[in-house]
Amino acid sequence: MITELIKIRGLMQNHDDFVRAGNLLKNGEVVAIPTETVYGLAANAFNPDAVKKIFKAKGRPGDNPLIVHISDFDDLSKVAVDIPEKAVTLAEKFWPGPLTMILKKSAKIPPEVTAGLATVAVRFPSHMYARAIIEAAGVPLAAPSANLSGKPSPTSALHVIRDMSGRIPMIIDGGECEVGLESTVIDLTGDIPVLLRPGGVTLRELRDAVGEVSVNKKILEEVNDDEQVASPGMKYKHYAPSSPVVIAEGETGAFVKYVTDNIKNKNIAILCFEEEKALFDGMGVSVFTYGRLSHPKELAHGLFSALRNLDEFTFDVIYARMPKADDGISLAIVNRLSRAAAFSKVVL
């Protein structure tokens, strides 16, 4: 299959391209689209055959459900039923935006989208082009991240080309994704909302909006093979470059010493904060940064791109630096990096 890449300059300039993307989606095809979180691999959420193509293109396990994207609050009732008050509050506060809500699914959503679950994940993205494409398609779009299963999520069209070229008919290039991490996922099917995946909307913001929100403990823990999880995505290896990643926990000074001590016998790369970079000058270690520790949003934005850059090379080990988990965006960074490292770490 030939993959067409369309660089978007504006809603008006590329009007015909949005129509073409919409038509492909109406006809049961898969199109990669930009969103404010990461790039998505979209298909008509009401069409099981179209949805199956997403799983095939990604190599995604069939038991990992997809997020359904809408472009109008009123469309929520087409995809979900029994919508609780707290979901309405959260939608009013954070939609359009990087928040996905787990709700009871409507009969119109086929089991292929939800991996047979009685619930559906729904999001109303804020990205102008994502919304224009959903509108052009005229149906809600099921869309997971547009990477090959297991790889870091794509935050630019180039990342999507790497993974999806030849697998899908069209990629819409809308530039870099603003948030850079996948959406926050919150389960609203019980009495107390449960955070299943941290993201651009933070735990602090969620609690400010609806009071008590519990946190699924698997956000920061490894899942064993035989374990039941609240969100199927938690089970899978994620975000990993091909070389092994190890989290290096401790003060900067101890980290520099650790790298110095280990550099003689190993081909090492480090993924560190911008503030630490200069300390490794001339040391003979490959240094990658993903933003300033003092600006966690910058770290979130740069993380997947840095992991993909690291994936261009082969190292014996990649030592990665991580902020401390809190109730802000750092929780999402720690969640993604811990999984990229398969929870391996050295405490310095």
Hey, which residues between 219 and 248 contact ligand AMP (CB under 6 A)? 231-233
For residue 85 the two structure tokens come to 């008050």
Of 121 and 170, which has the nearer Cβ to ligand AMP? 121
Which of 80, 121, 240, 293 binds ligand AMP (CB under 6 A)? It is 121
Considering only residues 282 through 311, tell me which ones interact with Mg ion, judged by CB under 5 A.
Answer: none
- Residue list 134-153, contact with ligand AMP (CB under 6 A): 144-145
Q: Give yes or no for residue 145 binding Mg ion (CB under 5 A).
A: yes
Written as one string, the DSSP assignment of 281-305 is TTSS-EEEE-S-TT-HHHHHHHHHH
Cis before 96? omega within 30: yes
With CB cut-offs between 5 and 8 Å by kind, which of ligand AMP, Mg ion, none does residue 64 bind?
ligand AMP
**168 binds, options ligand AMP, Mg ion, none, Cβ within 5 to 8 A by partner type:** none
Binding of ligand AMP by 342 (CB under 6 A): no
Query: What distance in Å separates the CA atoms of residue 35 and residue 25, rounded to the nearest whole number?
Result: 16
Q: CB neighbours (10 Å) of residue 1?
A: 10
**Tokens 């391996």 sit at which residue?**
344
Residues 52-71 close enough to bind ligand AMP by CB under 6 A: 64-65, 67
DSSP annotation of 145 reads B
Distance CA 109, CA 50 (A): 13
Shortest Cβ contact with ligand AMP: which residue? Answer: 233
The size of the interface with Mg ion (CB under 5 A), counted in residues, is: 1
Q: Taking contact as CB under 5 A, which single stretch among the options 64-72, 143-151, 253-261, 289-297 is the one that binds Mg ion?
A: 143-151
From the CB of 169, what's the least distance to ligand AMP, in Å?
20
Q: Is residue 33 a contact residue for ligand AMP (CB under 6 A)?
A: no
Query: Residue 71 or 145: which CB sits closer to Mg ion?
Result: 145
Query: What are the strands of the beta sheet with 345-347, ordered from one edge?
Result: 286-289, 268-272, 317-320, 245-249, 345-347
* Distance (Å, whole) CA 231 – CA 164: 25
* Comparison of 223 and 287: residue with beta carbon closer to ligand AMP: 223
Cα dist. 113→58, 68, 107, 117, 308 in Å? Answer: 14, 8, 12, 9, 28
Q: Which residues bind to ligand AMP, rule: CB under 6 A?
A: 64-65, 67, 102, 114, 117, 119-121, 144-145, 182, 185, 196-197, 231-233
Q: Which residues contact Mg ion by CB under 5 A?
A: 145
